[in-house]
Amino acid sequence: MTPPRLYPLQFEPICQYRLWGGRRLGEWLSVPLPGDGPIGEAWILSDRADHSTLIANGPFKGRTLGQLLDDFPEEIMGALAYPFRRFPLLLKFLDVHQMLSVQVHPSDRNAAYIPPGESGKTEAWVVLEAGSESRIYAGLKPGVTEATLRQALADGTTADQLPCFNPKPGDGVLLPAGAVHSLGGDIVVFEVQQNSDVTFRLYDWDHIDAKTGQRRPLQVDQAMACIDFAQGSIIPSMPVVEEKEPTLRERLFFCEHFGVWRIFGETPFTVGVTATPRVVVCLSGTGRLECDGVHYPIRKGNVLLLPAVVGACLCQPHGVVSLLEISLPNGSSAKR
């Protein structure tokens, strides 16, 4: 039998307990959250051995992203099928009620601190909800060195060494690997990152994990070795308007690991690129994507992977819709 053609793929979220989390992601995912404890992360598109998201729609429903990539590497990834043996990005929703640990991720240059099969981790946040108590810490204040940071850890004044701002919905924050960061105070963000789960904690705000009754471990020496001490303050990125009519299209980030564009439209417009994989995230509104004459409904919180063979799709909004469109790296940063 001829296998089904690929189509815009939607995924079942993988909800993750985090002591700093809340219960608001159910509003974004349109599914009940498990249990009654804090859910800090929903991994919405993940190709990892321990957490591979399940396809939620169409003929391939119930199969994992990893299985589909094994069976259809070129159809999904196009020219990126050889450079990347797994999907190179990990996409999440984060609900950060308390403060996330002050942490750092290694870059690919920190090979000694990266486990086999992992990579460095550059990431970016798009703020979805924030309030007066929300905070983002990103980068280091001028003059902070390893010595001053270690002294601050000993004195309990770590936060004083970090630039801080009150985010607002719509802000985009790019965090290169090696940047010290934290966020919290009732904030919801969408996170785009390299497909890596390597994190070194510097400071954890004296959190006690209700599940263990203990503080979580720190990895101060590893973190110090991976911090980019030349990285100054990080502030929200200034969007670059690439198109105003008939839709507003603005570039939030573009780095060697991913690109992120935000689109506002109320008349039909195109998303995706011919022969290239892209990811589409619906931030608000409703509509549908049209592919090969089939309509795929979209609403707030939906994340769809457009395989390379799908290419560009027509988005037909029902009123005003806001989307993110995410590009993959060009392959030069792949770990073989």
Please state, in angstroms and rounded to a whole number, the distance separating the CA atoms of residues 285 and 303. Answer: 13
Neighbour-count burial of 105, counting CB atoms closer than 10 A to its CB (0-12 exposed, 13-18 middle, 19+ buried):
buried
Q: Which one is catalytic: 18, 201, 249, 262?
A: 201
Q: What is the DSSP letter of 209?
A: B
Q: Note if 201 is an active site residue.
A: yes
Please state, in angstroms and rounded to a whole number, the distance separating the CA atoms of residues 92 and 268. Answer: 27
* Structure tokens that stand for 82 in this block: 């050889």
Is residue 304 within 8 A of residue 333, CB to CB? The reply is: no
Handedness of CA 193, 199, 205, 209 (dihedral sign): positive
Neighbour-count burial of 155, counting CB atoms closer than 10 A to its CB (0-12 exposed, 13-18 middle, 19+ buried):
exposed
Strand partners, 123: 175, 193
Token pair 């936060």 is at which residue? 159
Is residue 161 within 8 A of residue 154, CB to CB? The reply is: no
The one-letter code for the residue type at 154 is: A
The angle formed by the CA atoms of residues 124, 225 and 108, to the nearest 5 degrees, is: 50
Q: Which residues are catalytic?
A: 201
